[in-house]
Amino acid sequence: MNRLLKQFSSQPILKPLIALLLMVFAMTFLSGNFATSDNFFNVMRQVSVNLCISVGMTLVILTGGIDLSVGSVLALSGAVAAGLMKNGLALEGPDLFVGFTFWGCVLAALLIGALLGAFNGLMITRFKLPPFVATLGMLTIARGLTMLYTNGFPITGLGKSVSFLGTGWFAGVPMPVWIAVLVVVFFAFYMKKTRTGRYIYAIGGNEKASLLSGINVSKVLLLVYTLSGVLSAVAGLLVTARLDSAQPNAGSGYELDAIAAVVIGGTSMSGGKGSIAGTVVGALIIGVLNNGLVLLDVSPFWQQVIKGFVIIGAVVLDKYSSKKSL
């Protein structure tokens, strides 16, 4: 029995799960508005957006990298989808106008995310830029392109088909939650049951050994950053649909919540260790924390301070656990 309890307590997901339960209990005690059905679904909608980004961030961090551009990629993808839905695409040269259906706009947003993510991967693999530098540059590029595309103004009035994606319900569950569940299930299977998933862990564990064992490291890294861009675009569609508008400053600071969710969920910043399940718990912790601080009327400035300490604390615990396991 003692051996079983020791083995269970050593699981990486256990500590964040206990932290989540304690946080839910504390917020329920401190705020009478927390433990309500309306607030529960509100938290789940917010978590769904961060979870889509965080799953992509998990893949990146598992390889030992980082993606700081997710918030800006979210904004540009959402803005392009909204612009095409509202105004179509006018080509002045051949005097041609192209209209877009709802699914055409979705595909366009995903394509934008994939291209921006692939650009990050190309800079890292072909030109050997550090992931921090490459994605920091993309953060600025994508945000600037968003401002240019929208002229600094929101794009509103997108129609019922778009708003249903962000505010609609299916079988008693909000649509964003269904989409996040599909993302989580797919990538949990992908990481555990596919060869590429095992390669991602191997590269994060030891990139040189992975190269010597015949793994095409550049190809895997390019795929990982492309997937991160696609999942940021999915989050951008959810944000745009929920607000029924594309905001030029959408996604600002979302990279911090994503990194926090991944690290709190037990994924090592040095790569090679972590899980999608842990990221789910981490995203729930961040969602409950954000929601609880708002309900407690904590200043937005103090919210940033608190979240910063949470990120630092999670990284410190990760480093301590890594040294202890050696």
pLDDT given for residue 11 in this prediction: 56
- Segments in 88-159 forming alpha helices (H): 102-125, 131-150
Structure tokens at 256: 């911090």
Distances (CA, A) of 189 to 183, 261, 273, 295: 10, 20, 16, 36
Please name the helix (run of DSSP H) or strand (run of DSSP E) that holds residue 280, with its range, or none: helix 276-295
**Domain extent listing, the chain:** 16-25+33-317
As assigned by CATH, the class of the 16-25+33-317 domain is mainly alpha
- CB neighbour burial string for 70-83, b if at least 16 within 10 angstroms, e if fewer: bbbbbbbbbbbbbb
pLDDT given for residue 94 in this prediction: 74
138 has a pLDDT exceeding 90: yes
Candidate from 175-179, 225-229, 264-268 with smallest mean pLDDT = 264-268
For the segment 143-162, what is each residue's pLDDT rounded down to a tens digit? Answer: 999 999 999 999 998 888 88
pLDDT given for residue 323 in this prediction: 63
For the segment 74-128, what is each residue's pLDDT rounded down to a tens digit? Answer: 999 999 999 999 888 877 767 777 888 999 999 999 999 999 999 999 999 999 9
pTM of the model: 0.92
Please name the helix (run of DSSP H) or strand (run of DSSP E) that holds residue 226, with its range, or none: helix 217-243
